[in-house]
Chains A and B, each alone.
Chain A
């Protein structure tokens, strides 16, 4: 009987990363991933992947180690001095199927050749259907998991080539806020300690000033100071998200990835959190990547917007420009699908047929051709170039000149 019970427990589906993390560090998996990112010597995921010798990502990691021993090489093309973050040809593949020897036979291309740059103090919005690689993109940029290829330049340095110690020193400057405010906070620590933990770790302020420092950041994030001694379970979703934001911002980051930070919240709470994020951006001069599947939220908060489909950017432009003049058929369909809270608005809706294909064997040519209502013969054969059609409006589609 007891044996059965154990089996049943195992049968409970666990997410892949969760399982990985458990195998790597059975005893000590800090619930707060933001803290973990900031303090852990090697993030749990990375440790596991490095242990699986076949994964090319780990080879990359090894190369990165070696490369880091020398001076990081200067990039081929000069960097934009106004951009805090520049991503070039970033790739992240996961092994999808293993052959008899445990070597991967096919790859899941979660992020496939993504390039963009973000100016200091601005927000890049990333939109797309679930599974298109938004979260993976955010995590790979922060090196919470090693990239399969490509470069991420933060403040002029390619972070994939940094040594672990150097990377750890850089961690406080790059933070992430997650979608689920329930699972990302440690239940056994009072709020003050959660927020202060990583601050103490990185010795950002003298020990004697720590409490005042934490109280100050709490006040700025709209958390009354008597919350200091209370535990996360006593708070609502919106308040927990404030705690997560305070935890991330306490480290005085320059760059924050917000991965669907309001998707789990009610409309009225969403507005509070969005306003808070905007206020903090103004006062701390932060640079954001804001990931969401809610287009109205992305339009509100972003300066530039990137639309992702099956691991690649298909369109990338200034917010006003992309909403006024969406060029890619997928962007058009995505925008037209948003229900408008006005009973008289009779929008012409483009209904996409079918579901998003599996990223394991993405369609040939243009990855969108299986669902595109304007698909041409060439689309299934040749992948369109991701080209600038003026004012930094980038599109990958054969409808527009490929010259």
Chain B
């Protein structure tokens, strides 16, 4: 709501230029326009940054209640925007879904649809200052209480990051420090999050973790530098670091995309095995539907910064409802299932700076009807776990139950 206030006050100064000539293409902005945008951006960013950087914030400000105590995380209407010189890019624009305790939730969608930004918001690691959480909440279950991460100051967030929520990235080299030995980096993580832990205890824990992730010679790898390991080994080390503090939630952002299929199979196998051993949930981000089908209990499908369909893995794969979900599944060739020609979804994703006010998929949708001209469709609950944002499944009022 802070952002909304700011926006209305700034709109008389900065907005007219924009409304006169709506941005059709982000490349064609006059100098005056982009300067005006930059000015209004700076104002919003300053206020948001100030709020995040406060110290001595009383806990009551970000204390909250989980809707369902069985959930680890509840995203509720999360909005994360990037304030760029070409305009405000709504990378995540009203994302709602939850991650149940002990479950693996897969997030799929095309490049740029906001998967990574959603997970980075959960860690408060969105690239500041241009990237900011501007609305909604991220409720995180701490066991005996719940915090709203969207409202937490940076100082408090540091205590949760790594300890309660750990992250595994696509390219392990970006998160491993090349100048320190593997052992040092593992110990560091353990020492940071375990008060009163001695160096010897930390080392013992590190070696135990390396063994857990299936590294045959933990003592040797403990003394290695990251560049001395292969891609698959580095990803194992990343997983070991992520697991070292018994996190409640592991975010895996494309953990196997950079790996060969044979190595991917090893890493997925490991993740599955580990999930049985630890008492945590996994948020698995990928664009590979095969990986999702194999790993996830629940699936969230994102398109242009929004969730368009979510449900159990069986529901999404056996009964996909949204035309985009259907198209995505049809466009991927499958081994041993021959088709003469691949289906391709026509057109392109809309520009995130200039989203339409109707269904974002309408311009590419082959099943669109007159009703789709209306506002962005609400979620229709088709089963207790399955929901979809599409008019094909809405009642007369645009809300109600399925009639298709």
Contacts and interface: CB of A to CB of B under 8 A. Distances in A.
Interface of A: 129-130, 234, 236, 266-268, 270-272, 274-275, 278, 293, 295-297, 299-300, 323, 333-345, 349, 351-352, 355-356
Nearest to B270: A351
Interface stretch (B44-52, B261-269, B372-380): B261-269
Nearest to B290: A339
B268 A268 contact: no
Interface in B225-281: 230, 232-233, 260-266, 268-269
Given A266-B111, A266-B287, A268-B328, A130 B268 contact: no
A342 B290 CA distance: 7
Contact of B264 (A337, A342, A356): A337
B339 A300 contact: yes
A323 B335 contact: yes
A278 B334 CA distance: 17
Interface string B283-302: 00001111111100000000
B217 to A, nearest CB: 12
B260 A339 contact: no
Nearest to B329: A341
Interface stretch (B1-9, B186-194, B342-350): B342-350
Given A295-B261, A333-B262, A351-B269, A338 B342 contact: no
A339 B294 contact: yes
**Top 8 A-B residue pairs of the complex, sorted by shortest distance between their CB atoms:** A339-B290, A271-B331, A337-B265, A341-B289, A300-B333, A271-B344, A271-B342, A129-B260
Given A236-B348, A268-B331, A300 B293 contact: no
Given A268-B331, A323-B336, A355-B230, A337 B343 contact: no
B293 A339 contact: yes
A339 B288 contact: yes
B262 to A, nearest CB: 5
Contact of A342 (B230, B317, B338): B317
B27 A234 contact: yes
Contacts of A272: 344
Nearest to A274: B342
Contact of A267 (B233, B261, B331): B331
Nearest to A300: B333
Interface of B: 27, 110-111, 230, 232-233, 260-266, 268-269, 287-294, 313-314, 317-318, 327-329, 331-336, 338-339, 341-345, 348
A341 B265 contact: no
A93 B328 CA distance: 42
A269 to B, nearest CB: 8
Contacts of A335: 335
Nearest to B335: A296
A334 B331 contact: no
A355 B232 contact: yes
Residue from B262, B313, B328 whose CB has the most chain A CB atoms within 10 Å: B262
Nearest to B292: A341
B47 to A, nearest CB: 34
Contact of A339 (B230, B262, B263, B268): B268
Contacts of A343: 293-294, 313-314, 317-318
Contacts of B341: 275, 278
Given A293-B261, A338-B261, A338-B290, A268 B327 contact: yes
A344 B318 CA distance: 10
A275 B230 contact: no
A235 B126 CA distance: 26
Contacts of B269: 349, 351
A222 B290 CA distance: 29
A268 B110 contact: yes
B265 A351 contact: yes
A293 B264 CA distance: 12
Given A339-B288, A343-B317, 6 more contacts: A129-B262, A335-B335, A338-B290, A339-B290, A342-B293, A343-B318
A242 to B, nearest CB: 12
Q: Which of B287, B294, B327 has the most CB of A within 10 A?
A: B294
Nearest to A238: B348
Contacts of B336: 299, 323
A130 B264 CA distance: 12
Contacts of B329: 341
B293 to A, nearest CB: 5
Given A333-B262, A334-B261, A355-B233, A268 B344 contact: yes
A349 B338 CA distance: 22
A340 B287 CA distance: 13
A340 B293 contact: yes
Nearest to B233: A355
Contacts of B334: 296, 340-342
Contacts of B343: 271
B266 A300 contact: no
Q: Which among A299, A335, A338, A352 has the highest number of chain B CB atoms within 10 Å?
A: A338
Contacts of A344: 314
Contacts of A275: 341-342, 344
A344 to B, nearest CB: 8
A174 B332 CA distance: 29
Contacts of A268: 110, 327-328, 331, 344-345
Contacts of B344: 268, 271-272, 275
Contacts of A274: 333, 342
A352 B290 contact: no
Contacts of A234: 27
A343 B296 CA distance: 9
A272 B341 CA distance: 10
Contacts of B339: 300
6 contacts: A337-B262, A338-B335, A340-B290, A341-B334, A343-B293, A345-B293
A90 B54 CA distance: 66
B392 to A, nearest CB: 20
A338 B335 CA distance: 8
B155 to A, nearest CB: 33
**Chain A CB within 10 A, most for which of B111, B268, B339:** B111
Nearest to B266: A351
B103 to A, nearest CB: 14
Most buried by A among B233, B260, B338, B341: B260
A236 B291 CA distance: 25
Contacts of B292: 341
Contacts of B262: 129, 333-334, 337, 352
B280 to A, nearest CB: 21
Given A236-B348, A339-B268, A355-B263, A267 B294 contact: no
A338 B260 CA distance: 10
A363 B313 CA distance: 42
A336 B292 CA distance: 16
B116 to A, nearest CB: 14
